[in-house]
Chain A
Amino acid sequence: MDQELLAPLAGQVLAIKCAVGDTVEEDEEVVVIEALKMETPVFAPCDGTVKEIRVKEGASVEEDDVLIILST
């Protein structure tokens, strides 16, 4: 089953901490978004494998944009 990981807020993608095919654990930090001078980490909602990364580092995202798709 696919699980979408959404941007919790609008901002710039500061870091992507996983690659397609990586196995991630629940609550592992996978993306960091910078907005309003603060870094907001985005955590994996569940254990899974990174199926697709929809954004690049430095890209601007809007709230609820899909960042990553995990296969669970």
Chain B
Amino acid sequence: MTELDPERLLRVLAEHQVEFCVIGAVAAWLQGSPAVTVDLDVMPRRDLDNADRLAAALNELGALHQHDEAPVELEGADFLGWRTQRFETEAGPLDVVPHAAAIGGFEDVATVELSLGDLKVRAITLDEVIASKEELGRPKDTAALPALYAAREALRERRKTSRRKTSE
């Protein structure tokens, strides 16, 4: 498995103008959660044009579908079932999650914009990550919760401090 290079994955998706948001552990990590991960989960908007752009981005990343032995040129139509698909790419593992049971799709989720240098990406809010993990309740979701609660606490304290400084 290639080591995750999240910046390259996000940059290539952005360069291809894919409409997506980061979900899962990377979204939480970017908002302070101390639980690491080795793959990136993204939720694309579900429309054919976006699927075409997503396919082009994944082709640039040499994406190998988890069920394939060699990279196959992807097309937008490959995503039209809008099921979760896992890819190995030159920049590490990437899960494409068009819809998640607990949170819905791209249009449903609350997101926050994060500036990663010159790159701006949207990530699902920490509260959404927590709500989805609590609702799913599988052992791996429950195991992820303590780190998420810690990040929520740290974020609240940070906002409180920031508010105090502003009002002083």
Query: Is chain B a partner of chain A in the same complex?
Result: no
Hey, which bits of chain B sit against chain A, CB under 8 A?
A: none
Seen from chain A, the residues whose Cβ lies within 8 Å of a Cβ on chain B are none
